[in-house]
Amino acid sequence: MTAAGEAGSAPEAAPAKVNLYLHVTGRRADGYHLLDSLVVFAGAADSVGYAPAQALSLTLAGPEGAALAAEPDNLVLRAARLLAAEAGLPPTGRLELEKCLPVASGIGGGSADAAAALRLLNTAWDVGFAPARLEALAARLGADVPVCVASAAARMEGVGETLSAAPRLPACGLVLANPRLPLPTPAVFKARRGGFTPRAVLPEGWDDAATMARDLAVCRNDLEDAAIGLCPEVAAVLAALRALPGCLLARMSGSGATCFALFADAAQARQGAGMLPEAWWRWGGGLYGAPF
Ligand code: C5P
């Protein structure tokens, strides 16, 4: 155990993933959907903390923590047990999940938390697995967990496990808004009607947010109609985002109900988020890791 591990580790950020588009390109024999999606990460994040302790435990904190209290087996604990089993270690430590992202909301909060736990414990337990091995473990926890291991923009294909380089991204602002209604992913996939959408054709990169928004406008989120059918408020969120000054593109992320809007910069996005109804969960800022 390292000295840092004995004192407890610095909390690990678990940033929200945003699907700038999400095409359902096919379906596997086991019912899982084949996807093509450009995933980016927002500055909005949960965080996972660790302190050494004999037994494995998890405490929930943060504004959205109460929503998870009834869940018997949090994905963070499953991630910890899976890593321990794979490393041949007993699962130990006091984990604390600071929950700031809304639960079951299409921005991969649970997946990001699980990926953050894998990264954190890989170091705290001195496991030393390479990122590719962590990604393979992540795929066993959920389709969105592998892309969250690196928490860097990526093109996601297959059922979520096939990752490749994203086009070069410009500086941009993002608003996230959720009507505070959870949408379970399996229900949204089940409600989806219609055929399949081809893989998107993307350039090597974009120099500014307006050009990126223009190119992404021809793509879609193939789960948006199904989500609106289950949760009509999603349409109201999209309309409110499109009405914000400077909004370049608004679309639902993942299986919803969180929607995002793209702006030229983080300052415009922060201003836009402040104009949305207070009853919604809303956030405005830049991409994860981008300077303000
Ligand atoms: O893998 P994860 O637990 O996040 O997926 C939740 C559910 O979403 C799956 O049980 C499945 O119904 C649906 N899903 C899918 N195709 C994907 C990802 C998820 O059909 N690529």
111 Cα nearest atom in ligand 1: 4
* Cβ(37) – ligand 1 distance below 6 Å: no
Cα distances from 41 to residues 17, 83, 173, in angstroms, run 5, 24, 12
Binding residues for ATP, by number, are: 102-112
pLDDT digits (tens, 9 = 90+) for 141-167: 999 999 999 999 999 999 999 999 999
Catalytic residues: 17, 144
- Collapsing DSSP to helix, strand or coil, 227 comes out as helix
* Cβ(32) – ligand 1 distance below 6 Å: yes
Q: Is the predicted pLDDT of residue 1 greater than 50, yes or no?
A: no
Q: How far is the CA of 49 from the centre of ligand 1 (A)?
A: 27
- The mean of the pLDDT values for the chain is 95
Pocket perturbation via mutation, ligand 1, pick of 17, 32, 111 by most ligand atoms within 8 A of CB: 32
Report the C-alpha gap between 126 and 128 in whole angstroms: 6
Q: What percent of the chain has pLDDT over 70?
A: 97
Q: What pLDDT was estimated at residue 173?
A: 98
User: Average pLDDT in the 271-285 region?
Assistant: 98
User: Average pLDDT in the 97-108 region?
Assistant: 95
Nearest to 228 by CA among 256, 260, 247, 250: 256
* Cβ(143) – ligand 1 distance below 6 Å: yes
Q: Spell out the domains of the chain, with CATH numbers in brackets.
A: 3-165 (3.30.230.10), 173-286 (3.30.70.890)
The ipTM assigned to this model is: 0.93
Binding residues, by number, are: 102-112
For residues 37 and 155, is the Cβ–Cβ distance under 8 A? yes
117: pLDDT confidence band, cut at 50, 70 and 90? very high
Pocket perturbation via mutation, ligand 1, pick of 33, 36, 161 by most ligand atoms within 8 A of CB: 33
Pairwise pLDDT comparison (10 vs 83), residue with the higher score: 83
